[in-house]
Structures are given as C-alpha cells and as structure tokens.
Amino acid sequence: MAPTEDLPKQLEETIRRANTILFRRGRSILIGREISALQFNALLSIREFGPLTMGDLGKHLFVACSTATDLADRMERAKLVERARDEKDRRVVRMHLLPQGEEVLNEVIAERQSFIGEVIKDYTDEEYEELMRSLELLEHRMELKRS
C-alpha cells in the first residue's frame, strides 16, 4: 500500500496520542514524588547518555543552559542527581544519577511497561510481531533521517 498524503498526519497524531496516554500513566508517580516531567526527562537523558554537563543536558532537553542549571539545582536538592567534577578535566562538571533518581526512573518505566502489557495482552503472536516489526522499522528510518 502506497502512503497517502494523509498518512504522515495520521501517524503523527496516533503516535502523539499514544505517547500522551503513556505519559499520563507515569505522571501520577511523578506528582506523588513532586517531580516535574522535565526533571523526569532529564533523569532519562542522564541514564541513556551517561553523566552530562549542563550544556549537554540543555541540548537533550531543548532548553537554555540556565534552565538546565536551575533544573539541576532542584534535582540535586531532591537527591536525584549529584554534580561531580570530570576526572579528565576538572573544569567540567557533570550530573550523575543517584539511587533515588534511578528508583524514580525504574518505578515510572515499570508502570508504563505494565500498562502496555495490559493493552497488548490479547494480541496474537502475529499481531505482536507485526507491531514490533513496524515500530522498529519506523524507529530505524527516523534515526537515519535524523543523522
């Protein structure tokens, strides 16, 4: 089936709606811990990319360096992260995840994964495999276009 002009619009809307549902699923945990969505995304970035400078964190979150610094201050006060000087260049300061930050990530991600498990529990093996193939192909092609 050839893509129609509406397909990109439909895909974007569907992905966005699914992401919003998933986001809301983990949001109650964040609210209970008084953590913002931006702080959660910062924790995810640090886990995924390793210890980050304020500048790198700002780039990952699409925020100004000053905003990343304010965010780091709040997360450090909440004992989610700590700042540490880089071992190779002592002028550089990087944010590292602390156990409490890791715990928040694990809790939210586990809730999201549990929710997805509930949603797909009645999928046949073929439906699941087709879904995974399609999503992996979409992700792969998006990565190629991003580069």
Structural domain spans, the chain: 24-121
pLDDT tens, 129-142? Answer: 999 999 999 999 99
User: Is a pLDDT exceeding 70 seen at residue 80?
Assistant: yes
Q: pTM to 2 decimals? A: 0.84
**Token pair 């991600």 in the structure block, residue:** 109
* Cα 101 to Cα 30: distance, rounded to the nearest angstrom: 11
pLDDT tens, 115-130? Answer: 999 999 999 999 999 9
Please state, as a whole number, how many other Cβ atoms lie within 10 Å of the Cβ of residue 37. Answer: 12
Q: Does domain 24-121 have CATH number 1.10.10.10?
A: yes
